[in-house]
Structure 1
Amino acid sequence: METSSSYLSRLESESIQILREAVSEASNPVMLFSAGKDSTVMAHLALRAFYPSKPPFPLLHVDSTWEFRSLLAFRDDFVRTNGLDLIVYANEVGRQQGINPFDHGEHYTRIMRTEALKSALDEGGYDFIFGGARRDEEKTRAKERVFSIRNANHVWDPRQQRPELWQIYNSRISPGQTVRVFPLSNWTENDILAYALWRKIQLAPLYFAMHRPVVERGGSFVVVDDESLMRFLPGETPVVRSVRFRTLGCWPVTGAIASTASDLGSVVLETSASSNSERQGRINDGEDGGSLERKKQEGYF
């Protein structure tokens, strides 16, 4: 796969054009920022798109309350270093009710991710929302357009997607509608990593192999980020192994992979040689991706 600077430069230019076009049409834009590799690259693209000014929108992080602690530290350092505005939103009612991934499964995702996101967008009154989803992540993602229209309830209908011939985007919306914009639609996981290497972008430490305490579940390694909150199954004991992540979510339901790739160059090589999807690290996606499509139709990003 071509990952030369000219190829990456073309991807960069396309994403910057998408960012600028969306901002020109928006009244109140916002960019979702999880501090994962995709949203970090997307935020860097925004910095380049609007330099020397800072991006004309804040970053929004929907905190599930079960985030990796090192990821939150990386998030705060990234925002501080780049002088960006950050809004952190959590479903405080769900937090008080003790909604968690161990006891509540998909209900937890709906309450602490989907409903929290919808509430944050409604409270902020945002009309154009940038997200870092890529079409190669999972088959449901491939149904998205770059400019994806949502109705007043944030519902996504794949049958109502607008054509985008010759990279012409229809940004007109009716009252109550919003647009979710995906500047990284034509990028792959390898492109993200190669671009970060090319532009010397620092990614969260969780993407690099380190010795971490893990338990093995369903063929994945679950990193015990907070032992006081971990629900161990009978007979489970944490074992220290060299692992890293390809995708990041809530720590109890995100699987790490065994790895010795401790720098970005070796991560690029290891990922290029892998035949597995990065999305396999999301333990709660479901086996066939149908659950993710249902979540998206409910408002999940």
Structure 2
Amino acid sequence: MAQDHHNHHHHKQKNIKAAFFLNLTFTIIEIFGGLWTNSMAILSDAVHDLGDSISLGSAWYLERYASKKADEKYSFGYARFSLLSALLNSLILVGGSVLVLVRSIPRIFNPQEVHPEGMLVFAILGILINGAAVLKMKSGTSLNEKAVSWHLLEDVLGWAVILVGSIILLFFDVPVIDPLLSVFITIYVLFNVGKNIKQILHILLQGVPQMYSIVEIEKELKENTEAVSVHHTHLWSLEGEKILLSTHVVVPENIENKDIMKLKEAVRSLLYKKGIEHITIEIEYLEEKTDRCFKEDEDHKE
């Protein structure tokens, strides 16, 4: 089992590494190509690809770092470090996209001649190289991998748009198409980056994962176990994959230890089936719960 996990992790790192070198190499070529063809559409995608390259490079490093086990310094382990590259990539893309918009929008009102043949060649290369990177990343399961994979897929779509634009420019002298394509690609990227940042911040701020409901979980635990009630439940994710939960389970005063053990096992079994890996259960007795609630009510009245 441990060997399979190691092989899977090693395979994931190899995929990220291959996608990184593919993307970085093409980004360098793309920057020169954008300057050569005088195409803001290509330069805007070059900025996007640069962000993806940084993300892939940091993902390559941080995926290895994130696999470290828990220690005295980080008691939950290092898994959350994998979010750093996704956040870094998103922030770089925002900055780069703003820069591209500042350069592209004036060109809409003052179009400049571009090199459609060169745009066509780079569009074909972009689709092929970014498509290969997408195939390398498509099996990823972490938020970091998914964020990078989506950005790479956006690159393919962006190059498809540039391909169509370059074909139009081959037959019609309408250079305004280039900055319009640049703005279109950039706005599309910013929209998706915004969603990624929102998801990353939700995890970093320990929000409840979207596929779970604390109310429904507490109700299910109460209905399917011997618990009198379930309350004070906390649910969060480390990095978008590993889900953690802590909860307080109220039991009758006369319950025996063996029944408490069975109850805790039943609770864990139900939660494991929901994909929750790390579970902390605190047992409270009914009288203890009632006394505390009474005191809380009195304090509230004061």
Interval containing the TM-score (normalised by the shorter chain): under 0.3
The higher radius of gyration belongs to 2
Highest relative contact order (Cα 8 Å, sep 6+), 1 or 2? 1
TM-score of the superposed pair, with normalisation by structure 2: 0.26
